[in-house]
Structure 1
Amino acid sequence: MLYIVGLGPGSRDLMTQEALDVIKKVHTIVGYATYVRLIRDMLEGKELVVTGMRGEVERSKKAIEIAASGEDVAIISSGDAGIYGMAGLVLELASKMDQHIDVRVVPGVTASIGAAAALGAPLMNDFCHISLSDLMTPWDVIKQRVDAAAKADFVICLYNPRSKGRPNNLREALDIMLKYKSPDTVVGLGKDVARKNEIETITTIKDLNEEDVNMTTIVIVGNQNTYVADGRMITPRGYTL
């Protein structure tokens, strides 16, 4: 059996029981070095297959190879493996094999959910996820998606918002949103959610300091009804109060 496991955003408390059980029972763990370090204390006596950044295809093929040999193996992702994680790639590669292997996707808490809980209740109405990384998706396509989501007044969760190689993508995305959203629209930042140096910040589109944002930050841009009360970011569901 090949398990594709979501570790959650970083804290052991936010790992699902199924994820904990799978990691405990399998003999081999395959993963990106940073994610392996997050659960290092759980891996004593296990075989480890570790690769660096952008080694996703290599990791997936190795996990499939191990599973095809008849051994139970887990390939790990941060957050939820099915949201910008390893699940899609592994399933794509497995579907092209002549030999059938059993695959199970084990869900995890994704960054937007972890950040939303820390910030308040910003995702109570319709929302979407958009990654600002153009490594896999052309930037023009990403801009179209940002435009459509802002026009429809979704709460927008931005993944991979800003890096040294993409310092301007966040600002460009926010400028697109300003075609439809007020500069005073509430924005929540969750940095290093559920990790040692976790930081939550509530601001607005106009006051957002881009220097506060990096690749470990989730940016949640509210809709026209999102507001702040008692330091909490709230998007009303629509109940009559």
Structure 2
Amino acid sequence: MTGSLTVIGLGPGNPDQTTPEARAAIEAASDFFGYGPYLDRLELAPDQTCHASDNREELSRARAALEMAASGRSVAVVSGGDAGVFAMAAAICEAIEQDPISGREIDFRVVPGITAMLAVAARAGAPLGHDFCTVSLSDNLKPWDVIEARLRAAAGAGFVLAFYNPISRARPWQLGRAFEILREILPEATPVIFGRAVGRADEHMAVATLGEARPDQADMATCIIVGSAETRVIERKGRAPLVYSPRSTGRPAI
């Protein structure tokens, strides 16, 4: 009997931001694989089983989930945010490619979720209102010189930048270096948004200029959005400022 494997994005942390499609997929699954804190967010029935693993064991988790699905179970792999953005959907696809026999026979689908970048942008206003790109600052799976090249190219092309995995105990210097690179290209007045744990009880939002931005304003629960040279800040008395990127660049078409 061939089972199923569904990769589910749970959203950034607020239960209201878990989609109805994701809730239905959770109800339909028998077994759940994921990083412990993500599994802790689930409200499961007594006959549903969790299989927790460390956040750095993505490929082994994917293989275990595939093996169980191939045995006929209805398996779900959960991720915070969107499972397709620096998360488990890619790891599952990689495991399927490496195991073409059992991996390609199961019923496989990905259920999207609200990713941290979108939650932070919504809190701030509309910083992603024009062209943007997303970069993970983790060099666990790609060399740092590749990250630097991408930062320079994206900032030079006028993209708003969203940073995932900005800093950790094992990688304390990368965010500071990223800011140094961007200061070579962008005006120091460029807005930088720090959105930590958006939608959860410990949410914290802060807006700084690129010239003022510091690495110690972020941790691994923070998603950072760096504006383009055209991103604007609207100050509001007694309220948080609005940050937005105009829909038009203001330059004539070529």
Range class of TM-score, shorter chain: over 0.9
Over 3 Å off, 4+ runs: 42-45
Report the Cα distance in structure 2 between the residues aligned to 1:44 and 1:121, rounded to whole angstroms: 42
- 8 Å Cα contact 2:192-2:224 kept in structure 1: yes
CA contact (8 A) 1:94 1:101 kept: no
- Give the aligned residue type for 1:114: A
Cα separation, partners in 2 of 1:44 and 1:123, compared to 1, 3 Å: farther
**Do residues 13 (structure 1) and 16 (structure 2) align?**
yes
Contact 2:176 2:214 in 1 (8 A): no
**SS in structure 2 of the partner of residue 103 of structure 1:** strand
* Contact 2:230-2:249 within 8 A present in 1 as well: no
Question: Structure 1 residue 234: deviation in Å?
Answer: 0.9
What is the distance in 1 between the residues matched to 2:211 and 2:115?
27
State the TM-score, normalizing by the size of structure 1: 0.95
**Tell me, which stretches of 5 or more residues in structure 1 are unaligned?**
none
Alignment of 1:91-170 (within 5 A): 91-95=93-97, 96-99=99-102, 100-170=105-175
Partner of 1:238: 248
Equivalent residue, structure 2, for 1:184: 189
How many residues matched? Answer: 239
Partners of 1:13 and 1:42 lie apart in 2 by 17
Q: Deviation at 1:67?
A: 1.1
CA distance in 1, matches of 2:40, 2:69: 23
Structure 2, unmatched stretches of 5+, are none
TM-score, structure 2 normalization: 0.90
2: distance between equivalents of 1:112 and 1:23?
23
How far apart in 2 are the matches of 1:123 and 1:104? 28
Q: What residue in structure 1 maps to residue 89 of structure 2?
A: 87
Relative distance call for 1:193 and 1:44 in structure 2 (3 A) is: farther
Aligned to 2:79: 77
Deviation of the 1:239 alpha carbon: 9.1
Contact 1:61 1:93 in 2 (8 A): yes
Change (3 A) 1:103 1:124: same
| Structure 2 counterpart of 1:24, from 17, 23, 27 | 27
Q: Tell me whether 1:198 sits opposite 2:194 in the alignment.
A: no
Kindly report the root-mean-square deviation, in angstroms, between the aligned alpha carbons of the 2 structures. Answer: 1.4
Residue 223 of structure 1 aligns with an amino acid whose one-letter code is S
Q: CA deviation at 1:109?
A: 0.6
Are 2:183 and 2:211, in contact at CA under 8 Å, matched by a contact in 1?
Answer: no
Supply the distance in 2 between the matched residues of 1:191 and 1:45 (Cα, whole angstroms): 34
The C-alpha deviation readout for 1:39-64, integer Å capped at 9, x for no partner, is 2x335431111112312122111110
Name the aligned partner's letter for residue 110 of structure 1. T
Aligned with residue 58 of structure 1, among 54, 57, 60: 60
Structure 1 vs Structure 2: percent identity of aligned residues? 38
CA distance in structure 2 between the aligned counterparts of 1:209 and 1:199, rounded to whole angstroms? 15
